[in-house]
Structure 1
Amino acid sequence: MTERTRGRPARRFVAAAALATGLLTAVAACSPGPSGNASADDAHKTTGPVSKDVAKAGNVTLTEWDQNTDPGTDAATQTLNKAFMKKYPNVTIKRVSRSFSDLKTTLKLALSSASPPDVVQANQGYPDMGAFVKAGLLQPVDRYATAYGWDSSFPSQLLDLNRFTSDGKTWKTGNLYGVSQTGEIVGVYYNKAKLKSLGLSVPTTLAEFQSALAKSKASGLQPISYGDADKSPGIHIFGVLQAATAGKAEVRKLVFDGGGAKWTDSGTREAATTLRGWADKGYLGSGFNGESQDQAVASFAKGKSLFLVDGTWQTAAIASKMKNNAGFTALSPAAGQAPLTQGGEGLAWAVTSKSKHPDVAAAYINFLVDNNGMKAAADNGNLPALPPADYRPAAGTVHADVLAQWKAVSEKDGLLPYLDYTTPTFYDTLTAAVQELTAGQLTPAKFCDRLQSDYGSFQQSR
């Protein structure tokens, strides 16, 4: 996320094994420059003087595009934008905020225009960041990573998620093209009062969750609030299932091209069969492919369902409406096992190649991701990518649940990548296929065949 709506989704995404040790402590080896397949030309682009003196840049209008439309991320962005302009009165920030789906549709056109934005949020992986790099629309930020210390404050594994070779063909190596402000995991929000009224405990495994779904449906309470008109929610609910049925090794191989796995394998097929079963049993409600994610969140917040399967980017919105009646959990494949789920970091803040003020753009990004930026994210109900040492949400709140689950997942190597990272076209393929699967228009087998076809075509083209 994963993207990825992931913001959004945003969001987003993650080299899961690596995050386990470094993400919470923000201690990692430095990654000061290009690596892997980076060419000499790549290296040249990452060098050069950096001016950190924004006040001496003259009058600057800095245009930024983001997908921070959810209450928490929107509030944090507004707060930090105002603070940046107060600190630097010579800078005017022009903000354009779109949903994740809209951003995916319009950002490349904006970047290719005669007046492109200076700073954008770019989704990791081949469909977006890789395509932008290949088209020469983003500039490397390695020199800024050195100047501002991103290469030491961020774990190298997080930085690698924002790396590409200059041809956009190889992910997680080469130049650095951005850094992220927020952390993310996808999990299960639950209504505490309704869970108690049904005599249920908080589900921690897929089996317990499915048992709770059945009991909720039998009681007349809608089990899950779900709306997939925005498409990205389908990635997340399927990803939660696939994590439990296929396991972390297989999911990582599929997304990170580890080899030896196919989208037609039994674990993925079982996830598709389970999701189709949820739709057939009415666990997802009716008309869900015509309802938005926002409608689903609102329905859950009003107490119309027991669960909501979504990302931590929804925490602020849910907490504001449900107070302490909302909880959050991540699911394990089976009792005694660590939880597994999609997650990692939010979309990367990147500098566009045509920006007339790249040094100011980099200073702005640093303002978003330094300790004060992370604190602003946390203060507005978001999960910061690098949680400040004093970040301790009040006990009994959904924010406390989110942090606890974040630690449980990441510290035990349970973070899995967002599935749309897999190929340049996988977001469109997967989101359409999930809609058809849940609508009864695709069998689980045909669903898996479609995903494998996209995956296989990409492998052959490389």
Structure 2
Amino acid sequence: MRNSRLQIGTTVLVVGALALAACGGGGDDAAAGGEGDTLRLWHFESDTSAMGIAWEEAIATFEEETGATVEFEERSFEQIRTTASQVLNSDEAPDILEYNKGNATAGLLASQGLLSPLDDAVEEYGWDSQLAPALQTTARYDESGIMGSGSWYGVPNYGEFVEFYYNEDMFAEYGVEVPTSTEELEVAMQTFADAGVTPLAEAASEYPLGQLWYQLALSKADREWVDSYQLYADDVDFTGEQISYATETVKAWSDAGYISSDATGLAAEDAGVAFIDGEYPMFYSGSWWHNRFTTEIEGFEFGTFLYPGAEMSPGSAGNMWVIPVEARNPELAAQFIDITMRPEIQALIGNNGGVPVAADPADIEDEKSQELIENFNTLNERDGLAFYPDWPTATFYDDLNAGLQELLNGTLTPAEVNEQLGQQYADGVADITG
């Protein structure tokens, strides 16, 4: 999943003083140390994404400054998610890779001893001064793999969150205004449905519907509930207001025709491409789609808005650079991380539809990128990053997708889905906490 607890009092673009030009990665000693070596790097970003563009430049800078060669291998998100535990425990492990953050992912690998603690590198390069406390939450894990405290096991260099993308032309055609409350959102969706247009591009076999379900729960939640759900601060009642509302609303929206009946068999890519093709007026998904929409949508203008009437939304620091224990060149890996935190690399992320965590605001020139970052900052300023629904357990991503598919199919009622998910959640948390 594309997937904080503490409030960021300033905008994410102003977090920390960027003073890495003289640190670690850019001097003669670094070049001498890397000459003739190879850095094996994995990530799952496309070459046209904001991160892919920025990291390609970082690779070129790294090779020029260190004399080392980068051996890059693109792996899909699912490939890395499903094989990491096996691969990182072998001599096939890369030196550095992009990995998903959260208890069930990076936390699990850290607790298994597969990731190197990065405390010394964080101190050496000063990454903690660049990342605001909220963004550090998902980089640190205790001995049980629970985020928020303990050693650093990863370094994020971008942020992410979930928002509505909407087709401005379709909104104008059907006389729909951007909603400012859940009630107005439902009126807008009913307007489209009455005209024979399914309002939401959706996918239930992967993350989009699960994130919408979680957003609906968040619209009835506060930070205390999020800490219970994500950090195990207290028990979570799956028959309580938050989750009951979420599951019942997904079912109601499906019955009303707001969600297509074929969403059960669709992947995130299917839903995103359908929005690109102008088939749906709205798509609720992550900031990672922003650059792709900017570069691939041709037939209409699109805009964005945060989920109306909610203080919190799914989101966090982005996926992280991690260094496996089996890495052959961990020092070079740390130098590469440092380069990705430089202002010029951060600006590339920001100007290509990403959300940088340590950029100079003056370097962000693209208007749509400014809007994206402003939405992220709005969430930060109200302590609104609530992580992602699948994070609490190692299996909850698949559990949630399966439960919501059965909900749409009508094979389980909302109450039965909540009972099933509640038991799966409790079993998974017990596995982590003992």
3-state SS, counterpart of residue 204 of structure 1: coil
Q: Which residue of 2 aligns with 1:182?
A: 158
Aligned ranges 1:343-362 → 2 under 5 Å = 343-362=315-334
Output the CA distance in 1 between the equivalents of 2:69 and 2:350. 25
Q: In the alignment, which residue of structure 2 is the partner of 1:96?
A: 73
Residue 22 of structure 1: CA displacement?
6.8
Q: Contact (CA 8 Å) 1:68, 1:77: kept in 2 or not?
A: no
Which of the numbers 253, 263, 284 marks the counterpart of 1:288? 263
Q: 1:215 aligns with which of 166, 191, 194?
A: 191
Assess, with a 3 A threshold, how the Cα gap between structure 1 residues 87 and 459 changes in structure 2: closer, same or farther: closer
Identity %: 25
CA distance in 1, matches of 2:71, 2:411: 44
Cα deviation 1:76-106 (Å, max 9, x = unaligned): 3333223322333x32222222332232112
Unpaired stretches in structure 1, ≥5 consecutive residues: 5-10, 29-50
Per the TM alignment, residue 53 of structure 1 is displaced from its structure 2 partner at its CA by 1.3
* Residue aligning to 2:373: 403
> Cα distance, 1:415 vs. partner?
1.6
The answer (yes or no) to whether the contact 1:187–1:240 under 8 Å persists in 2 is no
TM-score (norm 2): 0.90
SS in 2 for 1:308: strand
Verify the 8 A CA contact 2:321 2:337 in the aligned structure 1. Answer: yes
The alignment partner of 2:314 has SS state of strand
2:211 to 227, 236, 242: 236
**Normalising by structure 1, what TM-score?**
0.85
Aligned with 1:120: secondary structure?
Answer: strand
Q: Deviations over 1:132-153 (max 9, x none)?
A: 1122111011111111110211
- Aligned-pair CA distance for 1:171: 2.5
Contact 2:351 2:366 in 1 (8 A): no
Q: How does 1:356-375 map to 2 (within 5 A)?
A: 356-375=328-347
Q: CA deviation at 1:403?
A: 1.9
User: Quick check: 1:69–1:99 contact (8 Å CA) kept in 2?
Assistant: no
Letter in 2 for 1:331: Y
* Alpha-carbon distance, 1:455 to partner: 2.9
Q: Decide whether aligned partners of structure 1 residues 425 and 386 sit closer, same or farther in structure 2, where only a CA change above 3 A counts.
A: same
Q: Does 1:434 align with 2:396?
A: no
Amino acid paired to 1:188:
F
The aligned residue for residue 418 of structure 1 is 388
Aligned residues: 420
Superposed counterparts of 1:23-38, under 5 Å:
23-27=12-16
How is 1:123-142 mapped onto 2 (pairs within 5 angstroms)?
123-142=100-119
SS of corresponding position for 2:219: helix
| 1:262 match: secondary structure | coil
**Which residue of structure 2 lines up, in the alignment, with residue 263 of structure 1?**
238
Letter paired with 2:40: T
Q: Are positions 1:87 and 2:59 aligned together? A: no
Residue deviations 1:311-351 (CA, integer Å, cap 9, x gap):
00000011113367110111233xxxx64211121111111
CA shift at 1:54, angstroms? 4.0
Bigger mean CA offset, 310-319 vs 371-380: 371-380
The answer as to whether partners of 1:22 and 1:155 remain within 8 angstroms in 2 is: no
Deviations 1:30-69 (A, max 9, x none): xxxxxxxxxxxxxxxxxxxxx9614323312211222213
Task: Show the counterpart of 1:48.
Answer: none
Which position in structure 2 is the counterpart of 1:326? 302
TM-superposition CA deviations, 1:225-253 (whole Å, max 9, x none): 12333x22232221222211334432332
Q: Which amino acid aligns with 1:294?
A: E
State the secondary structure of the residue aligned to 1:355: coil
* Larger mean Cα displacement after TM superposition, 188-197 or 439-448: 439-448
Contact 1:54 1:363 in 2 (8 A): no
Of 58, 67, 89, which aligns to 2:44? 67
Is 2:196 the partner of 1:226?
A: no
RMSD of aligned C-alpha atoms? Answer: 2.3
CA deviations on 1:404-442 (whole Å, 9 max, x unpaired) are 211221112222121212123322222222222222222
What letter corresponds to residue 57 of structure 2 in structure 1?
Answer: T
Indicate yes or no: 2:176 matched with 1:204. Answer: no
Q: Which moved more, 1:251-260 or 1:339-348?
A: 251-260
Give the aligned residue type for 1:451.
L
Which deviations, in whole Å up to 9, do the C-alpha atoms of 1:265-315 show, x marking residues without a partner? Answer: 122111111112222233222322222222211211121110011100000
* Cα distance between partner residues in 2 of 1:201 and 1:400: 22
Letter of the structure 2 residue corresponding to residue 424 of structure 1: A
* Equivalent AA in structure 1 for residue 412 of structure 2: L
Shift in Å at residue 194 of structure 1?
Answer: 0.9
> SS of the residue aligned with 1:416?
coil
**Deviation of 1:116 (Å):** 0.8
Asked if 2 retains the 8 angstrom alpha-carbon contact of 1:24 and 1:387, the reply is yes
Tell me which residue corresponds to 1:342: 314
Partner Cα separation in structure 1 for residue 215 and residue 186 of structure 2? 13
